[in-house]
Homo-oligomer: A and B are copies of this chain.
Amino acid sequence: MAAGISHHPAVDAPVFDTVALIGLGLIGSSLGRAIKKWGLARKVVGSARTQPTIDTSLKLGFIDEGYIDPADAVREADLVVICTPMGAYKAIGEAIGPALKPGAIVSDTGSTKASVIADLSPSLPAGVALVPAHPVAGTEHSGPEAGFAELYIDRWCILTPPEGSDPAAVAKVEALWKGCGSNIEIMEAGHHDRVLAVTSHVPHLIAYTIVGTAQDLETASAQEVIKFSAGGFRDFTRIAASDPTMWRDVFLHNRGAVLEILQRFSEDLTALQRAIRWGDGEQLHAFFTRTRGIRRKVIDARQAQPETPKKATEGG
């Protein structure tokens, strides 16, 4: 994923005069740093729940001004990007609605999108455009210090503008993320939520679950589980180390799609469990052969580096 500024498509910078970031954690601080690094806005104003986070962000230099009250942060903003866990969106929308400038654009970085439209639309005055966005990028670290300007380079940013959105507003949000190095995809919000339920939300829930199951065992000590985690479990611990508040909100805000995929997953797992119980080697082999091909396609799509043959990863 390492890439330099040369990867960026040319955008006419600055894209915005003033951008307000509501939430200054990993995602907000990375966006702020990218805006600063590549001159995508003249001014960045930030809002966080605590003064120490604001002070750290000012010191790190990715915001020019900071406020506890999000309404204070958005008054001059041409673009507001909400970068908090999604459980806070509704209250933030209500707080900033009356303070928004006519013609302002409101966007976000949340991992589910239909809920964003439902939570924010009622609070936005006429003349303010809502362009929800989901940059599909992150790390297992949190907080303003964890951010870095290159986080979004070569990653997808999915925009889900509601039907009838102003094309000019969509184009400006698109230009901002292109300026951060992202590839843009435009999708209907509900479709986004179903795709991400499969590629992200349910995999995370499964990873959290198996790590929890392992912690509860009496037959293998926690120390042994950790010691021999190279066998496959290790990858799950990385996924299950993600931010608990963010992920709680993901599951609560994409309930329908997550439950639908989970139901299918459970059926498929039960079928394999039955094959193991009854010693049906042919069924197992056929299933494992079928799933193998998708890895090559993922690598071809440049979503994963082909693993170097000279690096040990895991065993049985």
Contacts and interface: CB of A to CB of B under 8 A. Distances in A.
Contacts of A258: 276
Interface residues of A, number: 121
Interface in A112-171: 112, 134-141, 146, 148, 150-153, 155-156, 158
Contact of A194 (B156, B219, B242): B219
A151 B312 contact: yes
B255 A276 contact: yes
A285 B226 contact: no
A206 B244 contact: no
A240 interface: yes
A287 B212 contact: yes
Contact of A315 (B111, B249, B313): B111
A273 interface: yes
A256 B112 CA distance: 39
B148 A309 contact: yes
A292 B240 contact: yes
Contacts of A210: 202-203, 206, 265
Interface in A198-243: 198-217, 219-220, 222, 224-242
Interface string A53-76: 000000000000000000000000
A191 B233 CA distance: 17
B295 A240 contact: yes
A61 to B, nearest CB: 17
A87 interface: yes
Given A230-B137, A255-B276, A276-B251, A225 B198 contact: yes
Contacts of A4: none
Contacts of A238: 235, 295, 304, 307, 313
A134 B220 contact: no
A316 B246 contact: yes
A185 B284 CA distance: 30
A240 B208 contact: no
A252 B230 contact: no
Contacts of A284: 244, 247-248, 251-252
A6 interface: no
Interface string A172-209: 00000000000001000001001110111111111111
Nearest to A279: B252
B309 A215 contact: no
Contacts of A1: 311-312
11 contacts: A111-B315, A137-B314, A138-B315, A139-B311, A140-B307, A191-B220, A194-B220, A200-B228, A204-B232, A226-B297, A237-B304
Interface of A: 1-2, 87, 110-112, 134-141, 146, 148, 150-153, 155-156, 158, 185, 191, 194-196, 198-217, 219-220, 222, 224-242, 244-252, 255, 258-259, 261-262, 264-266, 268-270, 272-273, 276-277, 279, 281, 284-285, 287-292, 294-298, 301, 303-304, 307, 309-316
